[in-house]
Amino acid sequence: MKKRQRTDDNSLLTGCRSIDDNFEHLNKIDEGSYGVVYRAKDKTTGEIVAIKRVKLAQEKEGFPITALRELNTLLSLEHENVIRLNEVVHGSSLNKVYMVMEYCDHEVKSILEDKSMQFSHSQIKCLVKQLLQGVEYMHRNYVFHRDLKTSNLLYQNEGGILKICDFGLARRYSEPVTNYTGLVCTLWYRAPELLLGFKQYSKEVDMWSVGCIFAELILKTPLFMGTNELDQLDKIFKILGNPNDQNWPGWKTARYS
């Protein structure tokens, strides 16, 4: 399954290529909850790409819903600040499926952890602007990410481009808002309404994460580092104050289920 440029007949997909025949494995980049990421070279074009293997070993009822959502979301999005999905390829057996994406040089998190590399104030402004551009584009297309954090932001050396990645928890949302699972967003970047168990939420949860990322870029460390949900709320309220009708209108009547 390969992503193409849009044409008059809106054809987006062609048949899958084989990873063994078409790509040269270079090295392992990272491993997360939803897959392992490798760096590889396309033998046909010479392009360096990132290849994410979709984890299927634990799946007993077909293709994982997280992978399907990520594929569907990435195929529908096309923006400079959102990671580009090039194609989906297959391995030597049915349980080996890979997503081929554009390669970026760094995770933003790894840059922040490297004391020899520092973002200037102007660079931070540029990064936050790009993050907001990518998030605004997603929200304009009724997609929320639900796991924005510095480890899910990539950085390209050429041009200093920021890319939002890892759409395993992303999905389309509707207006007016409806019920969604509250088990989203990494704890340190999780909005208060999620921590309090609200089931009806919308794109605001992404904007909270953006604010946490902005603070982390400046402080070089996460702003709210709770050990559990209650401790996370405590740290938020100590800095921002307790909820009231002025800073959180309607919080008393928000629905929990």
Catalytic residue ranges? 147
Q: Rounded to whole angstroms, how far apart are CA atoms 125 and 150? A: 15
Q: Are 38 and 53 in contact (CB under 8 A)?
A: yes
Whole-angstrom CA distances from 112 to 8, 191, 224, 253 are 44, 22, 16, 39
Q: Are 45 and 103 in contact (CB under 8 A)?
A: no
Instruction: Please report the sign of the dihedral spanned by the C-alpha atoms of residue 117, residue 123, residue 125, residue 127.
Output: negative
Q: Judging by DSSP bridges, how do beta strands 106-107 and 97-102 pair with one another?
A: unpaired
Residues with Cβ < 8 Å from 168, sequence gap 6 or more? 32, 33, 34, 35, 66, 67, 69, 70, 147
Q: H/E element holding 52?
A: strand 48-54
CA torsion 205-159-19-2 (nearest 10°) is: 70
Q: Rounded to whole angstroms, how far apart are CA atoms 242 and 8? A: 54
Question: Helix, strand, coil proportions of the chain in percent (round to 5)?
Answer: 30, 25, 45
